[in-house]
Amino acid sequence: MSVTKLFTLFPPFIYYAMLLLIVGIFVFNKTFHLSLIGDEWQMMWIVKNSVVTTGQWDLHINQTFGQGYRMGALIMYLLTEYFGYDGKTVYIFSFITRFFATLTLFYFLRKRGCSYLAAFLGSLFFLVTPIGLQATDWAKNFTSYISISFFLLCIDSIYSLKSWRSILFFLLTFSISIYVNPIRSHGIILTTTFLLIFQYFFSRSVDKKRIIFSLFCSLAIFFLFLKMLVFGGITIGQIETLFGSIGAALLPQPSLPYLILLVVTLLLWKRYLVSKKYLLFTLSLHTLIIPIFFGTFLNISNDKLFAILGIYFTLFMIYVFIIELSNKKTPEALNAALPFLLIICFLIAPWLVGTPIVGPTHRYLIYSALSLPIIVAFSLNQNMLLKLRSISFCITSLFLLMFYLSLKSDINEMYSFHNQNTAKIIWQQIAPYFDNYDFKNHTPVVFFDSNNEAAIVHDVVTFGFGFHMGYIYKIWVYDIKEMNNKLPIAVDSLADFTSMVTDGKVIKKYVGKDAKPFIFPKADAFYFKIDNLKVTRVEDF
């Protein structure tokens, strides 16, 4: 059989998927060697504690995290129980979920009319984006990737709500995307609400069924979201921070090379903006980003540069949306609205409740990270049959290269902070000090002093120390409310450690505001010095 015939045996999607898998393994293989950190140890201990003390794996999950975290907790528990808790299996599973989210985006872009090449490069952009990378760093956030897969299928179904089967599919994918990752439900609800309302008001083929379906879904989702906000306690943050978050959801940094590639990509996507009719406004709009060009010279902080970028992108997308609607190009208007909704809808909720995001790698931005890949795919696809094809392809390739280099740098940093080898060496030296310790009648307090980078000691040892120790040494608590009193305590500073063994005044900081001052006996106080990777106990303190 010839090579040509061999490659025609399967649909093109299979070959593109294989290529994405190869690239993904090449890029993310270092994450397979990361060690688990605090949040993972907390979830693992809470599930195991529930199994041991109640016989139900999910009872304490409901009490501590809430119903929506059951799936993630169960998967974490099964992976670590059957394959070990060094982190390898959990991080491999995290990559698999990211890979399937990438494949779903590929499918979504194909359904939006993108060519195989444009859909492939757009999904590749998402695969290697450093935006929201913390969702990979904190491995239990693999639920975000699972949710994204169902969320994209949910959005896709909105484009064709024509029958009861399609409405059921929408409700199913919508519900699963929220159930899997409820903390991002605000963004999911808002995005789908706006898209459904858009379909209702602007669809070119509005029939009676579609009106009923869109209106019903929009109202149901809107009231659900309204209820969540009413009981959520809203606080208004600063506008600058919101726009800064929008900018951070686009680019890893507001630097000149990234900015040029973004502007060219946007203008290649909407080429009519450089025509005589719109040129004056286009030029005026782009004067906004001039400060970014001179950010270093003018000593402008990154947060302010991100805010400028966010304002520019917001005005650009709103302007394009209005132009497309005024020209009665409804599909193009929807394509313009979607990338902006994917950013703004997932930022409003944390902004309102007082947890604004500016750092591009923040895990909350992983949904917003879909925005630029979609724009890149639309832009590239629009120019594939024109003379601009080579220019568009070169711009996309440079963009991909820069994102890859940024991602590689971030992954190397993650690896230097908490890899399995470092964790194994340090914890093997800590263990002998506690192998014969009476955890049933005593609670140790621990302080780690080190000449290592602070982040290494934090990620490998102190972050989640109590849950880590509780899991390893089988410290189980029948009343989950008592876990802070029973699990080992790792303090942040020598001053706090000294207080723990002298006056006990800082106990509330680590155990809870209702805790009474308690002085730890010196036998229960462990002062460790970590010199490079060598751990020794300091007796004289």
HEC string of 296-325 equals CCCCCCHHHHHHHHHHHHHHHHHHHHHHHH
In this prediction, residue 389 carries a pLDDT of 85
What average pLDDT does the chain have? Answer: 86
pLDDT one-digit tens code per residue, 66-101: 766 888 889 999 999 889 888 999 999 999 999 999
What distance in Å separates the CA atoms of residue 3 and residue 401, rounded to the nearest whole number? 30
In this prediction, residue 234 carries a pLDDT of 42
In this prediction, residue 165 carries a pLDDT of 83
Q: Extract the tokens encoding 454.
A: 């602070």
Mean pLDDT of 293-298: 73
| Max CA distance (Å), the chain | 81
Where helices occur in 473-506 by DSSP H, the ranges are 483-486, 494-502
Q: How many residues does the chain have?
A: 541
pLDDT one-digit tens code per residue, 107-117: 999 999 999 99
DSSP track, 405-418 = HHHHHHHHHHHHHS
* Residue 225: band (very low, low, confident or very high) from pLDDT cuts 50, 70, 90: low
* Residue 325: band (very low, low, confident or very high) from pLDDT cuts 50, 70, 90: confident
In this prediction, residue 243 carries a pLDDT of 86
pTM above 0.85, yes or no: yes
For the ranges 22-31, 234-243, 268-277, 291-300, the one whose mean pLDDT is highest = 22-31
